[in-house]
Chains A and B, each alone.
Chain A
Amino acid sequence: MKALLFCPVASPEIAALSARATPAALPLLGETLAAYWLVHLASLGAKEVTILAPDRPEEIRQAVGDGARWGLRVEVVAVAETMTLAEARPSFQGVGHSEWLPAPNDLILMDRLPGLPGAGLFGSYAQWFAASQSWMSRALTPDRVGAHEIRPGIRVGLHGRIPADAVLNPPCWIGDQVFLGAGVTVGPMTALENRVVVEAGAEISHSIVGPDTFVGRLAELHDSIAWGDTLINWKSGSSLRVTAGFLLSSLGDDQRTPPPALRRPAWNLSRLWSPPEPPAVSPALVPPFGAAERDRYYK
């Protein structure tokens, strides 16, 4: 069975986010929107999916590859920004519909998450935040390995570090390779995407921290979307670029104001943490510990 996925174009309402990636490739709880839709289509029996990408198709290709991860054959096709759903159907589906998934799953505009028909994503930062909260309980799709719920409402990925004195208030999502400093408070209603570093004493609630982002010591984030050095208040829509790297900055290659000390991978930031201690939450969280050490701590 076949299906078409139509990517939304960049939305001015979430300009600070869509400047970083085309909307369907924006990370949301560790995966892209396109990936969530491919999981959904695979569960419906699709075998071939064509993704129509009017905006930055190369980012979609990078995010989904050839689809083999989901048992699909995926092709990403660049289309004009002006193309509409009505135009896409005859152009790509032709006249015979027998080999396509039944409507409405034969052609889907990815402006929402699967199973959340009323929850738009790109109308405002508040929509994006609300959708991430609604999705938190569903984001552990069957194809994801390792991420798990350590306590009700607290979902944690792999290869991170959570100290014993960290306060985690559900619901919250902590992605892969996330490092928390001593005394950090995370949640409620908070998502830390992959490769986030939060220094000691910081407090984050009702917020999303984007991937590869450093949150400095004692910083406080509420009602915010922080990604690299960009700080957005999702309630008011206000955004600013934080020029003090010790407060908020990017750890990725695309950083615009790189603090030199933070160019190293997060796990090399020795000034942030003391030598490794026994993992506080789960042995699965601490890859630097070998199996022998893990067994010793969790006998």
Chain B
Amino acid sequence: MNIEIDRDTVRVTGLPALDRPTAEAFAEQVSAALPPRPETIEVDLAETGKVDCIGLGALVEVFDQAQRRNRAVTLRVIDPTPPARQLLELTRLHRIFPVVQRKKPEAAG
């Protein structure tokens, strides 16, 4: 997992999984990297093949941590894989975390 900080923006990339085994480390590392007043958090899920509700819970936890520093912070999900998008929609989290599609989605196999 890579975390880049550009002033008030945090970008998380290179996440092969966001599930029960990885969720805690994700939440801890991203929360620890938050700037004093985060404006935007971008979580790139383009490589995230495994995702479950515990993983989505980690997104909520990071968002919660960021909101304690800035109520207006936005958490964006970038290029989610089809399963990740399905789970975001099932849980309606896509209404809280804007989904940004930058790459053309790959056809499901």
Contacts and interface: CB of A to CB of B under 8 A. Distances in A.
A220 B90 contact: yes
A219 B82 contact: no
A242 B52 CA distance: 7
Contacts of B12: none
B108 interface: yes
Interface residues of A, number: 18
B67 to A, nearest CB: 21
A231 B90 CA distance: 9
B33 to A, nearest CB: 27
A242 B87 contact: yes
A141 interface: no
A239 B90 CA distance: 12
Interface stretch (A110-118, A181-189, A243-251): A243-251
Which 8 pairs of residues, A with B, have the shortest CB-CB distance?
A238-B82, A240-B83, A238-B108, A244-B53, A237-B108, A220-B92, A236-B108, A236-B82
Nearest to B50: A240
Contacts of A236: 82, 105, 107-108
A11 to B, nearest CB: 15
A279 to B, nearest CB: 29
B70 interface: no
B107 A240 contact: no
6 contacts: A224-B90, A233-B86, A236-B82, A239-B83, A240-B51, A247-B53
A243 B86 contact: no
A224 B86 contact: yes
Given A220-B90, A238-B108, A240-B87, A233 B82 contact: yes
Contacts of A248: 90
Q: Which one of B52, B82, B86, B105 has the greatest number of beta carbons of chain A within 10 Å?
A: B86
Nearest to A246: B53
A231 B107 contact: no
B8 interface: no
B47 interface: no
Given A220-B91, A240-B87, 14 more contacts: A219-B91, A219-B92, A221-B89, A222-B89, A224-B86, A231-B90, A236-B82, A238-B81, A238-B82, A240-B86, A242-B90, A243-B52, A244-B53, A247-B53
